[in-house]
Structure 1
Amino acid sequence: MPHKFNAARRDNITKQKQRVTNWSEYNEGLRQRGDLTVWISKDALGLWSAPPRTTRGDQRKYSDLAVEICLTLGVVFKQPLRQTQGLMRSIAGLLGVEIAVPDFSTLSRRSSGLTLRATQKPGGGKPVHLVVDSTGLKIFGEGDWLEEKHKIKRKRRSWRKLHLGLDFVSGEIVCCDLTKDDVGDPTALPDLLAQVDGPVDLFLADGVYDGEPISELLATRFGSPIDVTIPPPTNAILSPNAAKDPTERDWHVAEIAARGRMAWQKATGYNHRSRAKLSWAAGKQLLGRS
């Protein structure tokens, strides 16, 4: 990013030297990154036990909420089921709450048929500011040990492409689709947009979505008032009818030619795509290798 800002005068910029002088504050800031605060609300404690059964069968001891909380903590801290049970038991002891912790066999059995509760979407039906992008997911197969033991040839690593649509105002993922690695982003966009229920005011995407077919798709799906922000390529030119009936893409091309691409990004809010990138990177870091 700094190279884009200073491209015209890069050869005249002296090398900057940064020196840390407030070591105590710097070290304390690094230590605070490891701080951990966990609490269980009173509402969750009240719903920890399963409600009375109204049909035939054994009475369950733990509610779906209790199992969901335990499994969520296990995924976040990358713990197997036995360690998840111990983690939840230690948290209950530190908080001083009298709750029974599900054992690892209960977590394993209940996880297969667990129905997650639907969360209320933030925003109250307000129009979505949609950011669309894709990221690659690697499929792991046999490891080096299995290859050495059985003398088998390692299979070619395969990938899947995860297409995501994020509302950068609320941070909620509103649509997603998993395809093979040979499916292009514009090809997967119609199925992705079909999952969006409410209206969309703003559509942000990178230059791979540039083109008239995508503009027509967005206008048909969400209506013409939608604000589409897609960066045109560096060699983009105005349409033949730009003087009489300019399109939104013509406006972007003219703004970039007049003010520069960085000024255009600030004016249109295109930089908000970085927030989506950070959210997806955090999600991949959370899931890790599986």
Structure 2
Amino acid sequence: MPFKYNASRRHKFSKSRCRVTNWTEYNESLRRRADITVWFDESVEHQWGVGPTGKRGRPCRYSDFAITVTLQIRTVFHLALRQVQGFVRSLFKLMQLELAVPDFSTLSRRTSRLAPLPREGSKAFGPLDLVVDSTGLKVFGTGDWQETKHGKTQQRRSWRKLHLGLDLETGQIACSELTTDDIGDPSAVPGLLDQIDEPVHRFLADGAYDGAATRTEIMRRFAYVEIIIPPPKTAVAGPEAETAPTARDLDVLAIKAHGRMAWQKSSGYNKRARVETLMGRWKSVIGERLRSRTLDNQRTESRIGVSVLNKMTSLARPTFERIS
């Protein structure tokens, strides 16, 4: 983390103060995050059902759009499957729409084979500044309170690892991947980069992504990309560092000559803290626990969470200015 090397004397530094310059607009966007018209409007009537497909057999009663909208409402308002069915049914009644609502078993069954949600193209001007990180999400098992109370770790707890890629300029989640907890961070990089259609100008990640395989994969996909990954303390420059140094060799030499904190400031690595904020936002808005039981359903659940956060971000973002 940035500035962790000054943790012992952090109290001697004055903390910078900032203020939000678009508070009126941003405050209204926070209200609209729970506005049901943001997530559900009259246009759903024309996309709720499935028309003739020309294939043999009876078509599905509900479109993928209907399942997606219902699951988004479930995620935003933290409802169980039966509760979201009743919630959407009441909305149809208020809107005087004669539409059927997917029951809880249909939602659970269709979640596993729901098509990946289309991602909107980046609204940034020019290549992306992509920062990647991962965090753990609980699946099942007793909570932390039970562990504290009884003083032992529960054996049945299971975790999933959520990998996210953040576009620094727009604040949108550009790519995401949910894996089992035994998948290392570098192994998830190819799957994340498969979801990026725009060129990438800078790729930021923490030291867990350091390695030749990760750098080679990134440079293979993007011709002109600056990779900002801190090498470990024990890293040494390669044998050709004096004649033909690689980008990693230059980082190792810069840290050795000027110190790690100077390298963090000069390289822009401190901006990686933005993805840590994204992880905290995910766990406060979406939650730190997955509700689905199977991995396929959990992956769809994580994609729904990504679409919810991106839609909230599109309503408005705060802009800051430093005052001290």
TM-score by length of 1: 0.66
Q: Taking structure 1 as reference, are residues 253 and 109 closer, same or farther at Cα in structure 2, changes over 3 Å only? A: same
Offset, 1:122: 1.0
CA distances 1:122-146 after superposition (whole Å, capped 9, x unpaired): 1389754333322223342479xxx
Q: How many residues align structurally?
A: 263
For 2:208, give the aligned amino acid: V
CA distances 1:137-175 after superposition (whole Å, capped 9, x unpaired): 3342479xxxxxxxxxx6453444344444444523425
Matches within 5 A, 1:99-114: 99-100=97-98, 102-103=100-101, 105=103, 107-109=104-106, 111-113=108-110
CA distances 1:65-85 after superposition (whole Å, capped 9, x unpaired): 334322321232221233223
Query: Which residue of the partner structure matches residue 176 of structure 1?
Result: 177
Identity of aligned residues (%): 38
Once the two structures are overlaid, the 10-residue window that deviates more, 118-127 or 240-249, is 118-127
For 1:283, give the aligned amino acid: W
Q: Aligned partners of 1:13, 1:272: CA distance in 2, in Å?
A: 19
Q: Is the CA contact (8 Å cut-off) linking 1:177 and 1:192 kept in structure 2?
A: no
Which sections of structure 1, spanning at least 5 residues, go unmatched? 17-28, 144-153
Query: Which residue of the partner structure matches residue 98 of structure 1?
Result: 96
Aligned CA RMSD, in angstroms, stands at 4.4
What secondary structure, in the 3-state scheme, does the structure 1 residue paired with 2:36 have? coil
For 1:98, give the aligned amino acid: Q
For 1:195, give the aligned amino acid: D
What secondary structure, in the 3-state scheme, does the structure 1 residue paired with 2:201 have? strand
What secondary structure, in the 3-state scheme, does the structure 2 residue paired with 1:178 have? strand
For 2:177, give the aligned amino acid: C
For 2:230, give the aligned amino acid: P
Higher CA-based Rg:
1
Q: Aligned partners of 1:217, 1:54: CA distance in 2, in Å?
A: 42
Query: Which residue of the partner structure matches residue 302 of structure 2?
Result: none
Q: Taking structure 1 as reference, are residues 201 and 42 closer, same or farther at Cα in structure 2, changes over 3 Å only? A: same
Q: Taking structure 1 as reference, are residues 71 and 202 closer, same or farther at Cα in structure 2, changes over 3 Å only? A: same
Q: Aligned partners of 2:119, 2:191: CA distance in 1, in Å?
A: 21
Q: Taking structure 1 as reference, are residues 142 and 61 closer, same or farther at Cα in structure 2, changes over 3 Å only? A: same
Query: Which residue of the partner structure matches residue 82 of structure 1?
Result: 82
Q: Is the CA contact (8 Å cut-off) linking 1:165 and 1:175 kept in structure 2?
A: yes
Q: Taking structure 1 as reference, are residues 5 and 158 closer, same or farther at Cα in structure 2, changes over 3 Å only? A: closer
Offset, 1:37: 1.9
Q: Aligned partners of 2:79, 2:211: CA distance in 1, in Å?
A: 46
Q: Is the CA contact (8 Å cut-off) linking 1:131 and 1:203 kept in structure 2?
A: yes
Query: Which residue of the partner structure matches residue 227 of structure 1?
Result: 226
Query: Which structure exhibits the higher relative contact order, with contacts defined as CA atoms closer than 8 Å and separated by 6 or more residues?
Result: 2
TM-score by length of 2: 0.60
For 2:140, give the aligned amino acid: F
Q: Is the CA contact (8 Å cut-off) linking 2:81 and 2:107 kept in structure 1?
A: no
Q: Is the CA contact (8 Å cut-off) linking 2:67 and 2:102 kept in structure 1?
A: no
Q: Aligned partners of 1:279, 1:11: CA distance in 2, in Å?
A: 26
For 1:77, give the aligned amino acid: F
Once the two structures are overlaid, the 10-residue window that deviates more, 2-11 or 158-167, is 2-11
Q: Aligned partners of 1:56, 1:8: CA distance in 2, in Å?
A: 70
Q: Taking structure 1 as reference, are residues 164 and 110 closer, same or farther at Cα in structure 2, changes over 3 Å only? A: closer
Pairing 1:38–2:36 present: yes
What secondary structure, in the 3-state scheme, does the structure 2 residue paired with 1:122 have? coil
What secondary structure, in the 3-state scheme, does the structure 1 residue paired with 2:130 have? strand
Q: Aligned partners of 2:160, 2:119: CA distance in 1, in Å?
A: 30
Q: Aligned partners of 2:52, 2:237: CA distance in 1, in Å?
A: 68
What secondary structure, in the 3-state scheme, does the structure 1 residue paired with 2:79 have? coil
For 1:270, give the aligned amino acid: Y
Which sections of structure 2, spanning at least 5 residues, go unmatched? 16-26, 144-153, 292-324
Query: Which residue of the partner structure matches residue 70 of structure 1?
Result: 70
Query: Which residue of the partner structure matches residue 211 of structure 1?
Result: 211
Offset, 1:119: 1.8
Once the two structures are overlaid, the 10-residue window that deviates more, 130-139 or 258-267, is 258-267
What secondary structure, in the 3-state scheme, does the structure 2 residue paired with 1:272 have? helix
Q: Is the CA contact (8 Å cut-off) linking 2:49 and 2:61 kept in structure 1?
A: yes
